[in-house]
Amino acid sequence: MWIAALCLSYAVAAAEPEIKPGVELHYRGTVARVERDRSTQAAGKSFDLSVLVTGDGPDGTDYYWLLDERGQGAFGWAERFGKWSQNAAGQTPEIEGPALLYDYGKGKHVVALPAPKLPLGEPSDNGERKKPEIGAKWTADGLESEILRTQSIDGRTAWVVEVRNQFGVQRRVWVDQASGVVLQEEDRVFMDQGTEYRLALELADVEFLEPTALAARQASFTALVQLHGKLKRAPRTIDEKLTPAQLKLLAANLPATRTAVEGAATKLLAAAERDLKQQAGRTSAIDKVTAEQMGRKPSAFELAGLDGAALRADELSGAVTVLHFWDYRDEPLKEPYGQVGYLEFLYDKHKEKGLKLFGVAVDGRFQQPAGAKGAAVGVRKLKNFMNLSYPILFDGGELVREFGDPRLQGVELPLFVVVGPDGKIVHYKVGHYPVDREAGLKQLDSVVTGLLATEEKAEEKEEAKR
């Protein structure tokens, strides 16, 4: 990713690291799992991080950053750049800074990357820091730091700083004595219920941009950040999918952004254009399937499931029914778990009012007697793990095709289908719902609540006639 930029900066690649406007620091790093014997596995992820200093003063430092990650998991293009700041105390607004997305198999974990400057020593009463020396200790943000020794790194003298919390050493940082720039760092990272990983990064190159080149680089970043702002996308959003409104905004703003962006950042725009083409195509296909399904009465079917659960098509009439198509496997089990926890909340809230809710475990192994038993065991483990009370049906793929399998359009499950008391589909949703902290799946809850209220009024009228 950095080839173009490094070719342009070849003559100054050996520049001394420093923090001042026009300096761009290029880091490379890895993330690897740590075994119980403290040995480290081969890296599951590698990355390149570019940090451009745009301002530095008594109040802090401002940066733009650009990230390229490879290996197990990765953020989409919209989460691989940004604007960042570091105050005089060295603190940064965490969610604005660069971060990796690590897929450890059962889930994904956001790994924040450190800032390129580490203030050393305890601040004095006037705000100035004491001169660093071996043995100096200080506390910041609940972490205790100590300068252990000095060490030579590529001809530069570095302070070796150990950072601890109540559980022990959390990171070790090699800081350039002359500039305060981080030359190397090793962090302990915990994910997957306490499994330890090792984040390591090192300064690979330093580039000093002349005023004209700096202005052009800043213009590139400004255009990217403005584009991201128009999309109103929260930082570190794991789901790469854009909403129809975001896709429309992206299509409208890409041409102007393209003219302002240069260098390595052009690869981000290429990724954005690919996303736009692919996601817009999938969205159009899903919209077509949704239109075909809405108002339709499902054809005859009969399905069995876990613990005697069963459902026939004719049983959809006379009740409000939610069908949740997902794989319901216990492994690999990844958040947000198909949103089954929120479905359980919805079911518990409305079941006394007559709501029927069925999870439909979609797994091709249910088509084969030899594989059906193993698939059922996985469903049971998932149900027990999530403490689900609603019934779960087994589908080898036939029923989800009846309801317009989104996977045929390149879109992953889950699929939510709501059938009204007349036996017709009244709501169709592919993918996860936005989550409301108070109401859970607010959109689905609103649909169900409205249908149940209408059904209750209809029953009251019938009762009054009698």
CB–CB of 27/17 below 8 Å? no
DSSP of 276-337: HHHHHHHHHHHHHHHHHHTTPPPPP-EEEBGGG-EEEGGGGTTS-EEEEEE---SSS--TTG
Q: In this predicted structure, which of 6-10, 32-36, 76-80 has the lowest mean pLDDT?
A: 6-10
Has residue 424 been placed in a domain? yes
Closest to 208 in 3D by CA, of 462, 5, 22:
22
DSSP 8-state assignment for residue 365: G
Q: What is the pLDDT of residue 261?
A: 93
pLDDT, mean of residues 6-34? 74
Reported as a pLDDT band with limits 50, 70 and 90, residue 8 is very low
Amino acid at 420: G
pLDDT tens digits, 356-379 = 999 999 999 999 888 899 999 999
Q: What is the pLDDT of residue 460?
A: 66
CA dihedral 30, 36, 38, 41 (to 10 degrees): -30
CB–CB of 425/294 below 8 Å? yes
Q: Would the pLDDT of 59 be above 90?
A: no
What is the enclosing helix (H) or strand (E) of 61? Answer: strand 60-71
Quick one: 308 and 457 in the same domain? yes
Quick one: 160 and 306 in the same domain? no
How many other β-carbons are positioned within 10 Å of the β-carbon of residue 21?
16
- Higher-scoring residue by pLDDT: 48, 2: 48
DSSP 8-state assignment for residue 192: T
Residue 328 bridge partners (DSSP): none
Count of residues for the chain? Answer: 466
- Higher-scoring residue by pLDDT: 392, 280: 392
- The strand order across the sheet containing 45-57 reads 81-87, 60-71, 45-57, 23-33, 195-208, 182-191, 168-176, 156-165, 143-153, 137-140
Q: What is the pLDDT of residue 13?
A: 40
Has residue 313 been placed in a domain? yes
Take residue 363 and report the two structure tokens written for it: 């797994």
Q: What is the pLDDT of residue 442?
A: 94
Closest to 309 in 3D by CA, of 369, 381, 357, 347:
357
Separation of alpha carbons 143 and 158, rounded Å: 21
Domain boundary among 180, 195, 218: 180
Quick one: 176 and 308 in the same domain? no
Segments forming the whole domain that contains residue 345 = 302-465
CB–CB of 134/148 below 8 Å? yes
pLDDT tens digits, 245-256 = 999 999 999 999
Q: Are strands 356-362 and 321-326 parallel, antiparallel or unpaired?
A: parallel
Q: Would the pLDDT of 128 be above 80?
A: no
Q: What is the pLDDT of residue 124?
A: 66
CB–CB of 17/183 below 8 Å? yes
Take residue 30 and report the two structure tokens written for it: 């890895």
CA dihedral 128, 133, 136, 140 (to 10 degrees): 40
CB–CB of 346/440 below 8 Å? yes
Domain boundary among 144, 162, 180: 180
Q: What is the pLDDT of residue 105?
A: 84
Domain boundary among 127, 162, 180: 180
Separation of alpha carbons 75 and 437, rounded Å: 24
Has residue 267 been placed in a domain? no
The mean of the pLDDT values for the chain is 90
Reported as a pLDDT band with limits 50, 70 and 90, residue 136 is very high
CB–CB of 71/89 below 8 Å? no
Quick one: 312 and 459 in the same domain? yes
pTM: 0.73
Reported as a pLDDT band with limits 50, 70 and 90, residue 125 is low
- Higher-scoring residue by pLDDT: 416, 120: 416
CB–CB of 254/276 below 8 Å? yes
67-70 long-range contacts, CB within 8 A, separation 24+: 67/98, 67/100, 67/113, 68/1, 68/2, 68/267, 69/45, 69/100, 69/101, 70/45, 70/46
Helix (H, G, I), strand (E, B) or coil at 273: helix
Q: What is the pLDDT of residue 12?
A: 37
Q: What is the pLDDT of residue 2?
A: 32
Residue owning tokens 């965490």: 94
Here the CATH number for the domain that contains residue 399 is 3.40.30.10
Residue 64 bridge partners (DSSP): 52, 83
Q: What is the pLDDT of residue 346?
A: 97
pLDDT tens digits, 140-155 = 878 999 999 999 998 8
Separation of alpha carbons 220 and 201, rounded Å: 25
Q: Would the pLDDT of 431 be above 60?
A: yes
Separation of alpha carbons 145 and 138, rounded Å: 5
Q: What is the pLDDT of residue 369?
A: 85
Q: What is the pLDDT of residue 121?
A: 82
Sign of the C-alpha dihedral computed for residues 255, 259, 261 and 266 taken in this order: positive
pLDDT tens digits, 401-421 = 999 999 998 888 999 999 999
Q: What is the pLDDT of residue 7?
A: 34
Task: Give how many domains the chain has, as a whole number.
Answer: 2
Residue owning tokens 């736009």: 276
Q: What is the pLDDT of residue 343?
A: 97
Q: For residue 404, with 0-12 CB atoms within 10 Å meaning exposed, 13-18 middle and 19 or more buried, which class applies?
A: buried
Sign of the C-alpha dihedral computed for residues 350, 352, 356 and 359 taken in this order: positive
CB–CB of 173/140 below 8 Å? no
CB–CB of 264/2 below 8 Å? yes
Has residue 137 been placed in a domain? yes
pLDDT, mean of residues 275-297? 92
Q: Are strands 356-362 and 392-395 parallel, antiparallel or unpaired?
A: parallel
Has residue 250 been placed in a domain? no
Reported as a pLDDT band with limits 50, 70 and 90, residue 1 is very low
Has residue 21 been placed in a domain? no
C-alpha 198: how far from chain center: 20
Reported as a pLDDT band with limits 50, 70 and 90, residue 126 is low
How many other β-carbons are positioned within 10 Å of the β-carbon of residue 215?
12
- Higher-scoring residue by pLDDT: 336, 342: 342
Has residue 80 been placed in a domain? no
Q: What is the pLDDT of residue 142?
A: 84
Has residue 419 been placed in a domain? yes
